[in-house]
Structure formats: C-alpha cells, structure tokens
Amino acid sequence: MTDIDIVYFLVHSMAANNNLIEQECLAAQNVKHVLEQSKVKQVIYLSALQHASCHSQHLIARKLTGEILRESKIPVTEIRAPIIIGAGSVPYEIIRDMTYNLLILTPPRWVRSKSCPIALKNMLYYLTQLIAHSTNQHRILDAGGPEYIDYQTLFKRFMRISGKYRPIIPLPIPIRLISIHFISLITSVSPLISKSLIQGLQYNLPANDQALKQLIPQKLLSVDEAVKQAFIDSHNAINKADWGSDPTLKTHWCTKYSYYPKDAGFTLTTTATSYTIWQIVQQIGGKRGYFYANILWQYFMAITRPH
C-alpha cells in the first residue's frame, strides 16, 4: 500500500457456510500482514455491537477481526454498529422482504430483543468524518441511533410507513432450528448471510455511543425518519446514471419488490466434454425451453417480448 494514509476495513465473510470465524480471521490476518509492511497511519474498521456472553459466530468473528487488526500496531478505530436502516442494508432488506412476502409474520423469540437501529445516512457520516479525527492509539467506539427498541416494534413501524400491515405472532423457535431454505424463500438476501446475521439478533445490544456523539456531533434520524429515507433512496437508485452500462438490467430491477436480485441454481457433475455442454447451453430458451419452471419462463418471455 503506497501513498495510502487511511484504510477502511468494511468486508465480512457472512456468506461462508460452516467456517465463518475462520474465514473472517484469515481475511483480517491477510490485511494485517499488508499493513505491517505499509506506511498506513490509520485503520477504520466497521464492526458490530457486542454482547458480554455472546455465542453468535457473526459477532464473535467481528470481535476477533478487530483484535487481529490491532496486532498490526497501526492505530485502529473500531466502530461497533447496530443494525443499519437503509436501502441495501441486509437487516433492513430482511425486514422489508418478510413484510412484503408473508401475510402473517411468525418470527422466533429474537423479535423481542432490543437494539438501537441507526440510519444509513448517520452511519456513513460517522465513517467519513473519522478521517478528520485521527488518533495514535487504538479505540473502540459504539454507534447507535436515538431509539432503543425491540425488533417487533421495528417491524410495526416499518409496516405503518409502508402501508403493509401484517399480524406478528412470535414463536418459541430456537435460532439454530431456523432453516436456511425457509429464509431463502422469503428474502432475496443471501440465505447464508441472513442466517449469520439472525444469529446475532437474539441478544439485547444497547450502544454506549456517548464518546462517538461527542467526537462527531450530528442529528441522528429516528427509526421512522430512517425508514422513510430508505424508501426515497431505493426509489432514486433506479434513476442513477450507473444503469447506462446495462439498460436491459434496469428494466428487470424493481425495488418495490426486492433490492437484491433473486438467484436460484444447482450444480451437476458430468463427464461430458465442454463442447457437448456448450451445444446444450445454446439451446436453452429455444424450442427445448428451460430446465426448470418452463411454463413460468414462457410466460415471462410472452409478457416482456417487445410489441
């Protein structure tokens, strides 16, 4: 890393299946080795709020990542965040998808756990302003929004603003029994990421954010204001100039239903040659139709065909 003074560490490995902690620690070790050979003066690491007796792999991995980065001897500012309310934020998109796709919400007991959701706008302001508040020591700062509420209340507030009213009936289902396949049916967010995140929602996670608020003062948006801003940002995203590179993709993306594209697929082992496979692939969508849900694909082609 030449001519770099500040490094932002924003990555995670929540898409890992069974070795989340190992993958996160490996990523942190790789960054640490590079930092030790660089002239970087500051590392800003976006982490997650912690619980004293936590068994969530996601939260444990976030904590260990911070410890590894601090071994580089370069000052690390670890900012521990709650769930972030904003377009594209995984917790927010899960809440939206559950509300939009289910007529009755039957979440596990974690829906009664509390957190202090922060607006994406506020979180981004904290991260960018930390550049102007460098330090020669390690520090851990909690970030949080102005309200400490349970997730059931968060669901209700989202429903009221979106106009999608759904009964909420919490069920005494242990977190470990939540099926990854069920999650994949109700949300467009990667099921592995969803499951990793949900494991951390069973804890009350208050934020001791006085130090950060004194360091970087700003008006913190309420939950209602954050949700309304997320709706505006989702709507504005469709009008961005970025779509110029692929105007066809823009026509298929509708934030009214889902922020992330829904993926489905499978793997198959074969002894066929690459040439043979390619001949079959070229026929997909032609007279032979599709391998899966052929009738639905035919219907999709009919309604999207230019007239």
More confident residue, 83 or 307: 83
Ordered by start, the domain boundaries in the chain are 6-236
Q: To 5 degrees, how large is the angle CA 155–CA 156–CA 159? A: 85
Q: Which residue type is seen at 196?
A: S
Q: To 5 degrees, how large is the angle CA 206–CA 178–CA 256? A: 75
So what CATH class is 6-236? alpha beta
On the question of pLDDT at 33 being above 70, the answer is yes
- Residue 50: name the closest of 178, 247, 168, 203 by CA: 203
More confident residue, 85 or 301: 85
Q: Which pLDDT score, from 0 to 100, does residue 153 have?
A: 94
On the question of pLDDT at 195 being above 60, the answer is yes
Q: Which pLDDT score, from 0 to 100, does residue 16 have?
A: 64
pLDDT tens-place string over residues 263-280: 666 778 899 999 999 988
On the question of pLDDT at 176 being above 90, the answer is no
Q: Which pLDDT score, from 0 to 100, does residue 222 have?
A: 97
Choose the weakest-confidence range: 27-31, 225-229, 244-248, 262-266.
244-248
pLDDT tens-place string over residues 285-305: 877 788 777 888 888 777 767
pLDDT tens-place string over residues 116-160: 999 999 999 999 999 999 899 999 999 999 999 999 999 999 999
Instruction: Compute the average pLDDT of residues 109-122.
Output: 90
Which element (helix H / strand E) includes 141?
strand 139-142
- Taking the model in full, what pTM does it have? 0.80
Instruction: Compute the average pLDDT of residues 78-99.
Output: 90
Whose structure tokens read 């709507």? 235
Distance CA 114, CA 285 (A): 48
Whether the CB-CB separation of 151 and 111 falls below 8 Å is answered with yes
Q: Which pLDDT score, from 0 to 100, does residue 257 have?
A: 59
- Residue 258: name the closest of 188, 307, 170, 199 by CA: 188
Instruction: Compute the average pLDDT of residues 63-67.
Output: 94
Instruction: Count how many residues are written for the chain.
Output: 307
Q: Which pLDDT score, from 0 to 100, does residue 241 have?
A: 59
Whether the CB-CB separation of 108 and 184 falls below 8 Å is answered with no
Mean predicted lDDT score pLDDT of the chain:
85
Long-range contacts of 260-269 (CB under 8 A, 24+ apart): 260/88, 260/93, 260/188, 260/189, 260/190, 261/188, 262/188, 264/292
Rounded to the nearest angstrom, the gap between the alpha carbon of residue 24 and the centroid of all alpha carbons in its chain is: 15
Cross-strand bridge partners of residue 114: 150
